[in-house]
């Protein structure tokens, strides 16, 4: 089984992918998809679209976890973030991959034991849990891995049901 974690972002979307065999999780891939402020809005979303299509096509993903979006004071940033999240959700749907949403504090608690843990602590624990030689240098990629690991833990605990919708629910 493969679990994908996605930290939505308009300028930078982080992702992490783990593979689970028995009761062990192993690192598969992690990184970011970045867009430039010099690109037009449509170009940025299209870049994310292509990136996600390739990522989802190249791995047989069982379930995805998205970090819940919290809108703060900056409405423009919130709108852009929502647009990026829409691209992510649409791609998961078209690929037939079920997903769940996980709050940042729930992910931190699953990984470190504290919902208010610092990013550095989450990075160190994620690296330790996945037997990585060093912590992820990019926060968004580390968050993606943490989300993937948290989704796996929730699946083990029966909190997530995985329903395969591959191809049969996708529109023509």
Rounded CA-CA distance 26/146 in Å is: 12
**pLDDT at residue 64 tops 70:** yes
- Summarised one tens digit per residue, pLDDT across range 104-118 is 999 999 999 999 999
Q: Is 7 a catalytic residue?
A: yes
Averaged pLDDT of the chain: 89
pTM for the model:
0.90
Mean pLDDT of 37-46: 95
Per-residue model confidence as pLDDT tens digits over 15-32: 999 999 999 999 999 999
67, 74, 101, 143: which is the annotated catalytic residue? 67
pLDDT of amino acid 52: 97
Predicted pLDDT at 147? 96
Q: Which of 7, 41, 101, 139 does the annotation list as catalytic?
A: 7
Domains in the chain (CATH in brackets) are 2-156 (3.30.420.10)
Residue 172 pLDDT: 38
The 3-class secondary structure across the chain, one letter per residue, is: CEEEEEECCCCEEEEEEEEEECCEEEEEEEEEEECCCCCCHHHHHHHHHHHHHHHHHHCCCCEEEEECCCCCCCHHHHHHHHHHHHHHHHHHHHHCCEEEEECHHHHHHHHHCCCCCCHHHHHHHHHHHCCCCCCCCCHHHHHHHHHHHHHHHHHHCCCCCCCCCCCCCCCC
Q: Verify whether residue 19 is a known catalytic residue.
A: no
Task: Output 134 or 10, whichever has higher pLDDT.
Answer: 10
Quick one: pLDDT at residue 71?
A: 67
Q: Which residues contact 141 (CB under 8 A, 6 or more apart)?
A: 14, 15, 16, 30, 31, 32
State the Cα–Cα distance between residues 7 and 170, nearest whole angstrom: 24
Name the catalytic one among 19, 41, 101, 140: 140
Rg (CA), the chain: 15
pLDDT in tens, 144-168: 999 999 999 999 888 877 766 555 4
Can you give the pLDDT at residue 46? 97
> pLDDT (tens digit, 9 = 90+) per residue, 65-99?
999 987 666 777 788 889 999 999 999 999 999 99
């Amino acid at each position: 089984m493969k679990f994908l974690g996605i930290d939505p972002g308009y300028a930078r979307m982080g992702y992490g992918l783990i593979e689970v065999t028995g009761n062990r999780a192993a690192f598969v891939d992690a990184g970011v998809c970045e867009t430039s402020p010099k690109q037009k809005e449509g170009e940025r979303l299209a870049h994310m679209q292509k990136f996600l299509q390739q990522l989802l096509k190249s791995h047989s993903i069982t379930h995805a976890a998205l970090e819940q979006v919290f809108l703060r004071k900056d409405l423009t940033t919130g709108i852009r973030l929502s647009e990026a999240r829409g691209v992510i959700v649409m791609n998961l749907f078209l690929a037939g991959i079920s997903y769940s949403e996980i709050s940042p504090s729930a992910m931190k608690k699953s990984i470190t034991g504290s919902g208010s843990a610092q990013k550095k602590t989450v990075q160190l624990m994620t690296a330790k849990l996945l037997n990585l030689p060093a912590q992820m240098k990019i926060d968004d990629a580390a968050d993606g891995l943490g989300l993937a690991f948290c989704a796996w833990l929730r699946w083990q605990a029966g909190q997530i049901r995985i329903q395969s919708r591959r191809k049969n629910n996708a529109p023509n």
